[in-house]
Amino acid sequence: MDGKIAIEEHFVTPELEDLVLNPGWSPEAFRAVLDRLEDFEGERLRIMDRHGIETAVLSLASDGIQGIAEPAEASARSRQANDALASIVAARPDRFAGFAAVALQDPAAAAAEAERAVHELGFRGVLVNGYSNAADPSGAGLYYDDERFLPFWEAIERLRVPFCLHPRNPLESQRAIYDGRPELLGPTWAFGVETASHALRLIVSGLFDRFPSLTVILGHLGEGLPFATNRLEQRLRRRADVTLERLPAQVLRENFHVSVSGNYHTASLIGVLLELGADRVMFAADHPFEDVADGADWFDSVPIAEADREKIGRLNAQRLLRL
């Protein structure tokens, strides 16, 4: 399919390299990834052309701003990253769009930066790499169901742009289950568990009852949540301490979109279509952390209705991101 819009594509610049987490690769392999993240006119465009991707929506690679503990520094670096991305998009507006980075270490500053990024820089949404590091010696993380973030969520709903919750590894203090099995960290398993749990915190907090028009994007076909909501709701209904106007399955269908990034599995896609509908799924290639050919070739031939392929490949992102 030509004309695809890929919504989870990553970037960095030489000045921002310190914000990209090396997941344990050799220096040579990590350098090669950084080079691909910093390429906007060469191989990146050739790969997009080869695989029918018209537009890539770029976002700062993980851990990005969320890995900075000091709020003032995080806010300054988010502005730096957004200004850099705005220049990249301005040079090729026919091929690139942007998601803003914000520093939720300071919720008020994050709301202000989101406003600037959307209104002044023309970004199409906000992408955050999971919880934010806290500026205290405990090593705690900031999860966004806390009431201190309500002004930020109010701003995102008012801006009418989506919030993308991108994965990162769990806190160091929460990794005991992975002891001795580091191969399960990262995208193999821990990313999905961490991000799905964070999304559930948002849902069961009643956030979407407060802000019914808020839109969240999850990658990787929803981090497993579309397949878990029936069991989840069965147990939540038995708890007197949970009083939600809408239960998780309804919130997923009404407030969430998912992308196919890095989860190119036909049976899973069919299940997500049955649970959420074709209007809630979008294409993503996750360049350069995934092989674009894997995702694009699979998507172009996956046995779904052509009308659904057009929605997932292009139309849903056009509508949601106002491209």
Transcribe 185-197 into DSSP letters.
TGGGTHHHHHHHH
At residue 224 the predicted structure's pLDDT band, cuts being 50, 70 and 90, is very high
Assign 295 to helix, strand or coil. helix
Give catalytic residues, as residue numbers. 286
At residue 243 the predicted structure's pLDDT band, cuts being 50, 70 and 90, is confident
Range scoring the smallest mean pLDDT among 20-34, 43-57, 72-86: 20-34
Assign 253 to helix, strand or coil. helix
Q: What is the mean pLDDT of the chain?
A: 96
What is the distance between the alpha carbons of residues 177 and 292, in angstroms, rounded to a whole number?
Answer: 32
Question: What is the model's pTM?
Answer: 0.96
Range scoring the smallest mean pLDDT among 4-13, 232-241, 248-257, 310-319: 232-241
What is the distance between the alpha carbons of residues 108 and 136, in angstroms, rounded to a whole number?
Answer: 19
Helices and strands (H and E) in the chain: how many:
13, 10
What is the distance between the alpha carbons of residues 294 and 262, in angstroms, rounded to a whole number?
Answer: 9
Q: Average pLDDT for residues 303-318, to the nearest whole number?
A: 98
Instruction: List the beta bridge partners of residue 53.
Output: 4
Question: Which helix (H) or strand (E) covers residue 120, if one does?
Answer: none
What is the distance between the alpha carbons of residues 86 and 54, in angstroms, rounded to a whole number?
Answer: 18
What integer pLDDT is reported at residue 120 of this predicted model?
98
Return the CATH architecture of domain 4-321. Answer: Alpha-Beta Barrel (3.20)
What is the DSSP secondary structure assignment for residue 240, as one 8-state letter? T
